[in-house]
């Protein structure tokens, strides 16, 4: 009996040993398969991709494009010749169109804007363009009004000084400090700006007999100072027309003359429409600036009624538009007033 039990135990032990050896061999084979797979994947390498064109783009846009391509940036900063390209990609390596492995690092040279050490020459340039350029530069350096403790290197003294000149209105005639003056700290620029010729003469345009739309189109092309008034339509007249003007058309007059135009009102207006006079008192400017009056119809469509270089003051513009239309007045692409047609 004892011998039989011993044989049974030996048989069980041998079976367990065989099971252990089998499991160990299976584990070795499994690990080997995994190792071989990893080896071949590594040998095969990452997918190939094409480097996109990133020059001239904002850094954030460039990073998103690299992310889509599974590429990674290596960023370098550099000063450039103008403040307008700050944050843009100046150079890249490899160049656009190069085929590389996914995961490759792409060198990006990003503009820090311009480093100032001398005053630029602003003579002969338009004051509005220069003012915007300096404001943009100041914003890139830090704006105290926005809570920054950094005072911008350049700022502009306002109001500007003006004088009559043969140069176009808005042209910078003098600047202080002078061009190429060294900048050692925060500097305030002072400008003398042209008002245009004092005694310039023009030939008065003739608007009599024109419809409102045609009259406004001609005013936009000539850039004259103007005002409109309304009166009822008289017998024999076509309504909604310019019936009188002062000074008379085709006469010689000063360029800064304010023209008065008289428009006759329609006897009846279609249902759902209104005929009226848009009026607004704008601040006077030393010289004409780009002004625009638009109408946003109830349908959502937006149409231009008048675009003109205008010096400001009281304006009055006739219209015939659907009730509920929004009239939008802008100066230098900045909205300054809106009202709804009743």
Residue ranges in 45-126 assigned as alpha helix (H): 59-68
Regarding predicted confidence, which is higher, 84 or 271?
Answer: 271
Dist. CA 297–CA 319, nearest whole Å: 13
Centroid of chain to Cα 158: 25
Quote the pLDDT of residue 28. Answer: 73
Q: Can you tell me whether residue 135 is helix, strand or coil?
A: helix
Positions of E strands within the chain? 48-50, 72-80, 89-93, 99-101, 105-114, 154-156, 161-163, 172-176, 187-194, 201-203, 225-232, 242-246, 252-254, 258-265, 273-282, 289-296, 302-310, 313-322, 326-331, 334-340
Q: Which of left, alpha, beta for 16 (phi over 0: left; psi -120 to 50: alpha)?
A: alpha
3-state secondary structure of 37: helix
**Exposed e or buried b per residue across 155-194, where buried means at least 16 C-beta atoms within 10 angstroms of its C-beta:** ebeeeeebeebebebbbbbebeeeeeeeeeeebebebbbb
Instruction: Read off the DSSP letter of residue 118.
Output: B
**Which domains does the chain possess?**
48-114 (3.30.10.20), 127-194 (no CATH), 201-340 (3.30.10.20)
pLDDT in tens, 102-145: 999 999 999 887 666 789 999 999 998 999 888 887 776 554 44
What does the pLDDT look like over 52-75, one tens digit per residue?
999 999 999 999 999 999 999 999
Higher pLDDT, 338 or 23: 338
- Does residue 49 have a pLDDT over 50? yes
**Residue 269, phi then psi, degrees to nearest 5:** -120, 140
**What does the pLDDT look like over 231-286, one tens digit per residue?**
999 988 999 999 999 999 999 998 889 999 999 999 889 999 999 999 999 988 88
DSSP-assigned letters across all residues of 164-233: --SSPTTBEEEEESPTT-B--S-EEEEEEEE---TT-EEEPP--TT-BHHHHHHHHHHHT-EEEEEEEEP
**CA–CA distance, 206 with 304 (Å, rounded to integer):** 22
Provide the whole-model pTM: 0.53
């Amino acid at each position: 009996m004892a011998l039989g039990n011993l044989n049974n135990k030996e048989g069980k032990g041998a079976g367990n040993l065989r099971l252990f050896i089998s499991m160990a061999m299976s584990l070795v084979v499994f690990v080997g398969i995994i190792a071989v797979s990893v080896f071949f994947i590594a040998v095969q390498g990452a997918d190939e991709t094409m480097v996109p064109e990133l020059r001239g783009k904002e850094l954030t846009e460039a990073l998103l494009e690299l992310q889509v391509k599974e590429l990674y940036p290596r960023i370098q900063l550099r000063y450039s010749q103008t403040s307008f390209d700050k944050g843009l990609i100046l150079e890249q390596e490899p160049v656009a169109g190069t085929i590389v492995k996914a995961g490759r690092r792409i060198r990006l040279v990003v503009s820090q804007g311009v480093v100032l050490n001398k005053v630029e020459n602003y003579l002969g340039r338009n004051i509005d363009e220069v003012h915007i350029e300096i404001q943009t530069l100041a914003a890139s350096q830090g704006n105290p009004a926005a809570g920054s403790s950094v005072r911008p290197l350049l700022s502009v003294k306002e109001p500007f000084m003006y004088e009559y000149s043969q140069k176009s209105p808005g042209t910078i005639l003098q600047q202080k400090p002078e061009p190429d003056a060294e900048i050692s700290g925060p500097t305030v620029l002072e400008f003398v700006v042209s008002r245009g010729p004092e005694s310039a003469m023009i030939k008065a345009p003739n608007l009599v007999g024109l419809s409102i739309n045609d009259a406004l189109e001609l005013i936009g092309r000539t850039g004259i100072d103007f005002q409109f008034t309304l009166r009822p339509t008289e017998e024999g007249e076509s309504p909604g027309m310019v019936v009188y003007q002062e000074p008379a058309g085709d006469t010689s007059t000063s360029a800064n003359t304010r023209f008065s135009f008289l428009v006759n009102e329609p006897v009846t207006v279609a249902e759902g429409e209104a005929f009226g006079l848009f009026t607004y008192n704008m601040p006077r400017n030393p010289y004409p600036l780009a002004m625009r009056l638009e109408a946003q119809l109830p349908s959502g469509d937006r149409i231009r009624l008048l675009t003109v270089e205008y010096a400001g003051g009281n304006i009055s513009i006739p219209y015939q538009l659907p009730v509920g239309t929004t009239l939008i007045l802008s100066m230098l692409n900045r909205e300054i007033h809106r009202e709804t047609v009743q």
